[in-house]
Amino acid sequence: MSTQSWKMTAALLACFITGLAFPGQATRSQANSSSQLARLHNVAKVLSSQALTSVTAVELWDGASRGMVEALADPYSVFLNVEQYQALESQKRGEAVGIGVELAYREGQAVVVSVLSNTPAQRNGLKAGDRLLAVEGVSLADLSWAEINARLQGQVGESLLLRWQSTLATSARPVVREARFVRENLRLEATRFTAYEGERCLLRLQTFLSESLLEDVQQHLQDTDVSCEQGMVLDLRNNPGGLVGQAVDLAGLFGVEGTVFQLQSREGQLTPIQATPTDEVWDFPLVVLIDQGSASASELLAAALKESGRAVVMGETSFGKGLVQSLFPLYEGRGLSLTTARYLTRLGNPVHEVGVAPDVVIQTDTNSPNATEPDIAVQIALDYLR
C-alpha cells in the first residue's frame, strides 16, 4: 500500500472513531484517541505487508468499521455498505427489492415478523413466526444477523431458494418447507380503506415505511362519502412497523393526548415522546387488531391507543420488537444501523420480546389479513362496534 493510501486510511479511521464515539463532538482525550488509532494503524500495516491477500485502503476502512460494530454484540446494529444503505433509504419512500418478508433475530435464528400482501413471500406460504433454516441449501445456523441478511440480498429477477420451519405444524415433528422465490420490485401500499354499512369503517395499515402515511389516512377519512361515526377498525396485523414518527402522528390524530411512548437510554433515562398536536382529531370508537406479525411502530401505536383508553385491542399478542434503530450516514455512501435505545409503552411497560397483549383474544387461522378465507377477526371487530 502506498504512503498516500496509508495517510488516507489513518485519517479516515481517526474521523470515524471520533464521530462514532461522540457524534458532533471532539473526543474527551486526544491522547487516548491517538493510542487507539496507533493500534489500528499497526494492524493495518501488518495486513498490508504480510497478508497473502492484498487489501485496499477502502477495504481496510470497511473492515475496521464493521469490526467495531460487531464488538457491540448486538444483532440489530449493522454496518451498511452502499447497496444496503441505499436499500434502507428507498424503503422510506415505500420502495424495496426482495420477497416481501420482514425478519427479526431471536435466539440465533431469523424469525419471520410479517409477510407483506401480494408478494413472493405471501404466495409461497411464509407466515409470521416461521423460522428460516437455509438459503440455497446452506444452513443459517450459527450465522450472525448481518451474515443472514447478506445471504438474502439480491437484484430484481434473481431467484432465492429458502428452507424454513413452519409454525403451522401441529405434530411433534416440525414441518419443514422449501420453495424458490424470485425477488421483485416491491411497492409498499401503506393503507387500505373500506367503508361498511352502519357508519363503520376498516382502515388497514400495512407498513409505517411511508413518509406520507398521515396524509394518506387523513385523505381516506376526509374523502369518504360514508361516515365512520359508529366506529373504525384499525387493522395493524402483519404490520412490521417502520417510521416511528408516523405512529406518533397517528396517535394524535386518533385522540391520544400527552405521552405516546417512552425511550429508555442505555443509562436508564426515560424520555417521553408526546403526541403530535393536530387541529383535526377523529374521536369515533376504535377497535385495534394486532397479531404476532405486528411489530415496532405498530405495537407502539396499539399500546398507546389501549393504555390511553382510546381503543379496545383484539387479536393476538404482538411480536415484541422494542429496540430503537437509528440510521447514520457515514463515508462514501455507507451507513450505520445502530440500536440507540429501548421503547417502553405510554405507561412504561416493556415491548421488546414481550409484545402488546390484546384486551380480547382472537385466535383463528383466518385472522391474517393475507388469508383468502373470510376474515373472522375483522367481522368480530365490526360486530363489536354495532
Q: Concatenate the DSSP letters of all residues of 264-295 into one string.
A: E-TT--EEEEEPPP-S----S-EEEEE-TT--
pLDDT in the model for residue 95 = 65
Residue with cell 444496503: 84
Phi, psi at 315, each rounded to 5°: 120, -135
Per-residue pLDDT band at 172 (split at 50, 70, 90): low
List the single range of 188-192, 259-263, 335-339 with lowest mean pLDDT. 188-192
List the single range of 19-28, 33-42, 93-102, 321-330 with lowest mean pLDDT. 19-28
pLDDT in the model for residue 102 = 85
27 vs 266: which has the higher pLDDT:
266
Buried b (16+ CB within 10 A) or exposed e, 225-240: eeebebbbbbbbbbbb
Per-residue pLDDT band at 107 (split at 50, 70, 90): confident
pLDDT in the model for residue 94 = 62
Residue with cell 363489536: 384
Q: Which residues pair with 328 in a beta bridge?
A: 336
pLDDT in the model for residue 386 = 83
21 vs 230: which has the higher pLDDT:
230
pLDDT in the model for residue 298 = 95
pLDDT in the model for residue 368 = 47
Q: pLDDT digit string (tens) for 260-317? A: 999 999 999 999 999 988 888 999 999 999 998 899 999 999 999 999 999 999 999 9
Using a pLDDT cut of 90, give the percent of the chain over it: 46
Angle at 108 between CA 102 and CA 112, to 5 degrees: 20
List the single range of 81-90, 104-113, 249-258 with lowest mean pLDDT. 81-90
| Cα(168)–Cα(247) distance, integer angstroms | 31
- Between helices 297-307 and 244-253, what is the axis angle to 10°? 30
Distances (CA, A) of 54 to 37, 49, 51, 60: 21, 9, 7, 10
- The three grid cell numbers given for residue 358, joined into one nine-digit string: 390484546
DSSP letter at 373 equals S
Across the chain, mean pLDDT equals 84
- The three grid cell numbers given for residue 242, joined into one nine-digit string: 417502520
175-182 and 159-166 strand pairing: antiparallel
| Cα(310)–Cα(307) distance, integer angstroms | 8
User: Which residues fall within 8 angstroms of residue 217, CB to CB, at 6 or more apart?
Assistant: 191, 203, 205, 250, 253
pTM for this one?
A: 0.77
Q: pLDDT digit string (tens) for 228-260? A: 999 999 999 989 888 899 999 999 999 999 999
pLDDT in the model for residue 19 = 34
| Cα(370)–Cα(209) distance, integer angstroms | 19
Per-residue pLDDT band at 168 (split at 50, 70, 90): low
- Between helices 30-50 and 3-21, what is the axis angle to 10°? 140
CB 280 within 8 Å of CB 220: no
Please determine, for residue 354, whether its predicted confidence score (pLDDT) is greater than 90.
Answer: yes
Phi, psi at 226, each rounded to 5°: -105, 130
14 vs 312: which has the higher pLDDT:
312
Please determine, for residue 13, whether its predicted confidence score (pLDDT) is greater than 60.
Answer: no
